[in-house]
Structure 1
Amino acid sequence: MALGAIPSFFLQLWIGGVLALLSLFLLFQALTVRLQFTPTDLDIYRGKIIIRRFPYQEWQNWRIFWYPVPILFYFKEIKSIHFLPILFDPTTLKECLEQHCPRI
């Protein structure tokens, strides 16, 4: 996406700027956010601080969108839905999900 921002600057300055900012945001997220699969929860960490815990018992479904070129990880809990951009290896993500929270 960052490489796409460069030629976009020549076509439309604002589109290139938006793509560049989005690329920087995703890079920051990829470097700082970590998922940890525990026996009972999916924990999300920023650095060493846990920012969110999702107990598997509250999950109703999950899905990885566009698996050949993974873009988005979706899961639904009893009270809410969540979309996470895929910033990690989709094969490992799928293996961990199938191990800890098989699809319903």
Structure 2
Amino acid sequence: MNNTPSLTTSTQDIELKPSYALPLALIIGSIGLIPIQLLLAALISIFGLFLMVQTALIRLKFTEKSLEVYRSQKLIRDFPYEDWLNWEIFWQPLPILFYFKEVKSIHFLPILFDAKMLQTCLEERCPKKLS
């Protein structure tokens, strides 16, 4: 019996397109808070602007063997699928957070890229293990 997860039949690298939905939602949502709590509105807006910059800079690429993270075309980290234990995309149908657990660490990433393609790539390249 083979216990290794099967990888997708496609070996083509896929780079996820950026999505500015989360940063824009935070910035627009903070406008409504201005009359209620100016400081909170400012903090949420600043966080939204920070995520906007990260959306412009950070890219995720699914390769045959790992998830690669790039900042301004420079590889900053890769996560081999063989080390993954679990993953989850939180708050469907409006995904805002991507979580995955490796053998030695856990990671949380805001959804700053195409969530549907992320889901598709995860299901193909790193299928969830049955408990």
Q: Between Structure 1 and Structure 2, which shows a larger proportion of strand residues?
A: 1
TM-score normalised by length of structure 1: 0.96
Q: How far 1:89 sits from its partner (Å)?
A: 1.6
Corresponding residue to 2:111 among 68, 86, 97: 86
Ranges of 4+ aligned residues in structure 1 off by more than 2 Å: none
Q: How far 1:6 sits from its partner (Å)?
A: 1.6
Give the letter aligned to residue 81 of structure 2. Y
CA distance in 2 between partners of 1:5 and 1:74 (Å): 25
Give the letter aligned to residue 48 of structure 2. S
State the partner residue of 1:12.
37
If asked which structure has higher relative contact order (CA below 8 Å, sep 6+), I would say: 2
* Gap regions ≥5 residues in structure 1: none
Q: Percent identity?
A: 50
State the partner residue of 2:12.
none
Give the letter aligned to residue 21 of structure 1. I
State the partner residue of 1:24.
49
Q: How far 1:7 sits from its partner (Å)?
A: 2.4
Question: Number of paired residues?
Answer: 104
Preserved CA contact (<8 Å) 1:2 1:20? yes
Q: Between Structure 1 and Structure 2, which shows a larger proportion of helix residues?
A: 1
Corresponding residue to 2:98 among 73, 83, 90: 73
State the partner residue of 1:34.
59
TM-score normalised by length of structure 2: 0.77
Q: How far 1:2 sits from its partner (Å)?
A: 0.6
